[in-house]
């Protein structure tokens, strides 16, 4: 029934909404200061005044308020709004902030503090666990919204996602003031709200009030008319993406908006472990809006992009109820840890809708609620919370590792095979929540929360990240075997096979250690050191992951030769670099004549490395 647009617009008008506006905290203040677009190094503070004047924010890490930033002021005339009089929006951008820091701030108008409190605070993202809230379909001013809001105010959270339909019915200026800023004021001044537009936002001038009230991350490739409607940002190791499933989605499907192209590129580019996407129209929910053309467009055009990039969690509104899907892939239920979980939290305060049972819905209830999400490393705990504070439903998102195809390559030279003692890189997703490199020898058997095993033995690890793990294969590895990557959320395996040798050149240096380059070229007849991996077995005992000894040299057992400028040269030494693991060096004297376009490659047994161009 929400779609009888003209009817509800006239009701909203008849309700004389401006009478519901909050009383300003000072003579001049119309809208209390609120935080926007907080990241590890920046924040915006926005407020509005009835009268023109000079706005500024004083702020500091302590209570000294020794830094100041001026506001950018924009007048909104009665012709642009539905408020009957002009008002002035002040926006201050605080830059060069420190990550993980608490800041005190104070807002001034013509040099006089505007808020009741002398100082307010906010926090930039830190590297530890954090919590956030998410809810949608809230803004009616009904007691159900206010009771839920009162419970939300008791939460200690770092940010809030609004899943759309912030202000009913028409998303007008007066409705945002009454049912959004007035209701969540005490949270909004200390915690940033990151919203996405709902269908009701579009009732007034294509979401013009929504756009003027928010100061959100900018998308470079969005046209001017779509700036602020969709965006992404990082909070610690979560990449959040807000999609606009209203007009931009319809336009994108017709090739008239870059939003879906941007979404694809944005998700491909992130290196964060977590990808959480939120938008208004739920692709997987059962209720009166399940036939909404925009929900169907979201399912047909947004979901395939999310699945391609392994988005673990999607948050939506629009159905005025609470719903949690099973983990899904291509619309089918998959086992826990795989697929995407779709949560609908549309019980933020508006009148409720029934939940229509669906095979893909694990739990649903027609009830007012909001989501409380706790992020810690590789887990997100989600609770649906009621106005009483009771928890209606709990779930955990624990994505298990997935491998790409091909999953394993030779770290030194991706086209080469794998070999005993060689360095390998494994690609996929849901590996380690954060990047971590080994710090000492012997290399560790697990790093962060990741381990790799082959024939029951853990492999020594050099580096782990959400999408890549680097390790060394055992020196006695022959034949083929399953390589298994394990995290606390599960494991994934792939069959690998070893060649006798799989040489890859990493660098070419002068004996001083300086790399050969155009500014430091190689000279005919000089000795060069070629650093390589994958030169195969050795003539002495060493375990993978151990640093090569400094007191005795370990030579390669295979015949190693260097092809340079048409000549085949036998090196003076080919073996492990003392003090490092899995890295070989080949000391070779160059021929006495070299042409300017000389390349070189290393042969180990019957295998040949990549060719490297030599600056001569
Ligand atoms: Fe909606």
Per-residue pLDDT reduced to its tens digit, 335-368: 999 999 999 999 999 999 999 999 999 999 999 9
Query: What's the 332 CA to ligand 1 centre distance in angstroms?
Result: 25
Q: What is the CATH number of domain 5-397?
A: 3.60.21.10
Q: Which single residue is written with the structure tokens 């909070």?
A: 235
Predicted local confidence at residue 25, as pLDDT? 47
- Rounded Cα gap, residues 360 and 342, in angstroms: 10
Q: Assess whether pLDDT exceeds 70 at residue 249.
A: yes
Averaged pLDDT for residues 448-467: 97
Query: What's the 198 CA to ligand 1 centre distance in angstroms?
Result: 5
- Rounded Cα gap, residues 135 and 234, in angstroms: 19
Averaged pLDDT for residues 166-187: 96
What's the Cα-to-Cα distance from 257 to each of 266, 271, 315, rounded to whole Å? 15, 25, 23
Q: Assess whether pLDDT exceeds 60 at residue 6.
A: no
**Residue 201 φ then ψ, to 5°:** -60, -30
Per-residue pLDDT band for 10 (boundaries 50, 70, 90) equals: very low
Query: What's the 235 CA to ligand 1 centre distance in angstroms?
Result: 26
Query: What's the 46 CA to ligand 1 centre distance in angstroms?
Result: 26
348: closest CA among 131, 164, 216, 201?
164
Task: Pick 313 or 415 by higher pLDDT.
Answer: 313
Average pLDDT, the chain: 93
Q: Within 13 Å, how many C-alpha atoms sit on residue 566's CB side?
A: 6
pLDDT digits (tens, 9 = 90+) for 430-439: 999 999 999 9
Q: Assess whether pLDDT exceeds 70 at residue 403.
A: yes
- Rounded Cα gap, residues 9 and 203, in angstroms: 8
Q: Are 55 and 49 a contacting pair, CB within 8 Å?
A: yes
- Rounded Cα gap, residues 481 and 462, in angstroms: 21
In sequence order, what are the residues at sequence separation of 6 or more whose Cβ sits closer than 8 angstroms to the Cβ of residue 519?
A: none
Query: What's the 292 CA to ligand 1 centre distance in angstroms?
Result: 10
421: closest CA among 541, 553, 571?
541
Classified as helix, coil or strand, 400 is: coil
The strand pairing partners of 365, in sequence order, are 322
- Rounded Cα gap, residues 352 and 321, in angstroms: 6
Query: What's the 5 CA to ligand 1 centre distance in angstroms?
Result: 12
pLDDT digits (tens, 9 = 90+) for 65-80: 999 999 999 999 999 9
Q: Assess whether pLDDT exceeds 60 at residue 23.
A: no
- Rounded Cα gap, residues 187 and 476, in angstroms: 60
Q: Assess whether pLDDT exceeds 70 at residue 2.
A: no
CA dihedral for 515, 520, 521, 526, sign (positive or negative) = negative
Q: Within 13 Å, how many C-alpha atoms sit on residue 607's CB side?
A: 22
pLDDT digits (tens, 9 = 90+) for 561-586: 999 988 999 999 999 999 999 999 99
Query: Where along the chain do the CATH 3.60.21.10 domains lie?
Result: 5-397
Averaged pLDDT for residues 125-150: 97
Predicted local confidence at residue 11, as pLDDT? 38
- Rounded Cα gap, residues 510 and 531, in angstroms: 11
Q: Are 468 and 425 a contacting pair, CB within 8 Å?
A: yes
- Rounded Cα gap, residues 377 and 487, in angstroms: 11
Q: Which residues have a beta carbon within 5 Å of ligand 1, which is an ion? A: 165, 198-199, 318
Query: What's the 109 CA to ligand 1 centre distance in angstroms?
Result: 37
Q: For the chain, give the percent of residues with pLDDT over 70.
A: 95
pTM of the model: 0.93
Predicted local confidence at residue 596, as pLDDT? 83
Kindly tell me the burial class for residue 405, based on how many C-beta atoms sit within 10 Å of its own C-beta (0-12, 13-18, 19 or more). Answer: exposed
Other CB atoms within 10 Å distance of the CB of residue 74: 13
Query: What's the 364 CA to ligand 1 centre distance in angstroms?
Result: 17
Query: What's the 77 CA to ligand 1 centre distance in angstroms?
Result: 29
In sequence order, what are the residues at sequence separation of 6 or more whose Cβ sits closer than 8 angstroms to the Cβ of residue 555?
A: 538, 539, 540, 573, 574, 575
Domain 402-499 fold: Immunoglobulin-like (2.60.40)
The strand pairing partners of 214, in sequence order, are none
Query: What's the 606 CA to ligand 1 centre distance in angstroms?
Result: 66
Q: Assess whether pLDDT exceeds 50 at residue 19.
A: no
Averaged pLDDT for residues 309-314: 98
Q: What is the CATH number of domain 504-615?
A: 2.60.40
Q: For the chain, give the percent of residues with pLDDT over 90.
A: 89
Query: Where along the chain do the CATH 2.60.40.10 domains lie?
Result: 402-499
Q: Are 459 and 474 a contacting pair, CB within 8 Å?
A: yes
Task: Pick 4 or 417 by higher pLDDT.
Answer: 417
194: closest CA among 258, 289, 251, 125?
125
Predicted local confidence at residue 230, as pLDDT? 98
Per-residue pLDDT band for 98 (boundaries 50, 70, 90) equals: very high
Predicted local confidence at residue 272, as pLDDT? 98
Per-residue pLDDT band for 26 (boundaries 50, 70, 90) equals: low
Query: What's the 318 CA to ligand 1 centre distance in angstroms?
Result: 4
Other CB atoms within 10 Å distance of the CB of residue 329: 12
> What CA dihedral angle connects 592, 596, 601 and 603, to 10 degrees?
-30
Predicted local confidence at residue 112, as pLDDT? 87
Query: What's the 391 CA to ligand 1 centre distance in angstroms?
Result: 24
Query: What's the 483 CA to ligand 1 centre distance in angstroms?
Result: 47
What's the Cα-to-Cα distance from 283 to each of 295, 376, 400, rounded to whole Å? 5, 27, 23
Output the 3-class SS for 537-572.
Answer: CECCCCCCCCCECCCCCCEECCCEEEEECCEEECCC
Predicted local confidence at residue 22, as pLDDT? 43
């Amino acid at each position: 029934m929400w779609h009888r647009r003209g009817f509800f617009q006239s009701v909203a008008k008849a309700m004389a909404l401006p009478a519901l506006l909050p009383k300003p905290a000072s003579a001049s203040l119309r809208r209390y200061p609120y935080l926007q677009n907080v990241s590890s190094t920046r924040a915006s503070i926005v407020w509005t005044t009835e009268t023109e004047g000079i706005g500024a924010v004083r702020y500091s890490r302590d209570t000294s308020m020794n830094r100041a930033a001026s506001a950018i002021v924009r007048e909104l005339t009665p012709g642009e709004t539905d408020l009957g009089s002009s008002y002035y929006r002040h926006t201050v951008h605080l830059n060069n902030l420190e990550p993980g820091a608490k800041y005190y701030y104070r807002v001034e108008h013509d040099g006089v503090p505007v808020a009741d409190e002398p100082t307010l605070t906010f926090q930039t993202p830190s590297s530890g666990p954090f919590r956030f809230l998410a809810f949608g379909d809230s803004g009616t001013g009904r007691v159900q919204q206010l009771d839920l809001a009162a419970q939300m105010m008791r939460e200690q959270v770092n940010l809030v996602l609004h899943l759309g339909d912030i202000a009913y019915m028409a998303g007008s200026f007066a409705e945002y003031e009454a049912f959004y800023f007035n209701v969540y004021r005490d949270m909004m001044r200390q915690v940033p709200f990151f919203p996405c537009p709902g269908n009701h936002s579009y009732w007034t001038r294509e979401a013009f009030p929504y756009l003027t009230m928010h100061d959100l991350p900018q998308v470079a490739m969005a046209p001017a008319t779509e700036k602020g409607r969709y965006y992404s940002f990082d909070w610690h190791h979560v990449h959040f993406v807000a999609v606009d499933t209203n007009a931009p989605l319809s336009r994108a499907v017709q090739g008239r908006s870059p939003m879906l192209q941007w979404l694809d590129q944005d998700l491909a580019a992130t290196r964060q472990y977590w990808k959480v996407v939120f938008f208004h129209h739920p692709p997987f929910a059962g209720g009166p809006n399940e036939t909404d053309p925009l929900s169907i467009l979201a399912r047909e055009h947004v979901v395939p992009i999310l699945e391609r990039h392994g988005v673990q969690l999607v948050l939506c509104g629009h159905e005025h109820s609470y719903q949690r899907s099973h983990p899904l892939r291509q619309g089918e239920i998959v086992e826990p840890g795989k697929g995407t979980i779709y949560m609908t939290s549309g019980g933020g305060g508006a009148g409720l809708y029934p939940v229509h049972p669906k095979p893909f819905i694990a739990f649903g209830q027609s009830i007012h609620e909001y989501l409380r999400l706790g992020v810690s490393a590789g887990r997100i705990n989600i609770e649906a919370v009621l106005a009483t504070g009771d928890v209606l439903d709990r779930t955990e998102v624990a994505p298990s590792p997935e491998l790409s195809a091909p999953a394993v390559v030779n770290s030194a030279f991706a086209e080469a095979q794998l070999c005993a003692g060689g360095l390998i890189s494994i690609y996929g997703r849901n590996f380690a929540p954060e990047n971590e490199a080994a710090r000492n020898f012997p290399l560790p058997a697990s790093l962060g929360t990741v381990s790799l095993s082959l024939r029951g033995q853990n492999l020594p690890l050099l580096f782990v990240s959400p999408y890549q793990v680097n390790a060394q294969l055992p020196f006695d590895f022959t034949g083929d075997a399953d390589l298994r990557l394990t995290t606390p959320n599960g494991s994934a395996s792939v069959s690998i096979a070893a060649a006798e040798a799989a040489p890859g050149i990493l660098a070419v240096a002068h004996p001083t250690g300086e790399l050969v380059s155009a500014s430091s070229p190689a000279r005919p007849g000089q000795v060069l050191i070629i650093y390589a991996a994958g030169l195969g077995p050795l003539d002495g005992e060493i375990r993978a992951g151990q640093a090569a000894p400094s007191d005795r040299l370990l030579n390669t057992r295979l015949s190693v030769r260097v092809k340079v400028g048409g000549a085949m040269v036998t090196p003076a030494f080919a073996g492990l670099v003392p003090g490092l693991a899995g890295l070989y060096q080949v000391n070779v004297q160059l021929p006495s004549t070299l042409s300017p376009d000389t390349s070189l490659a290393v042969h180990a047994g019957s295998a040949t490395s990549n060719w490297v161009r030599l600056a001569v």
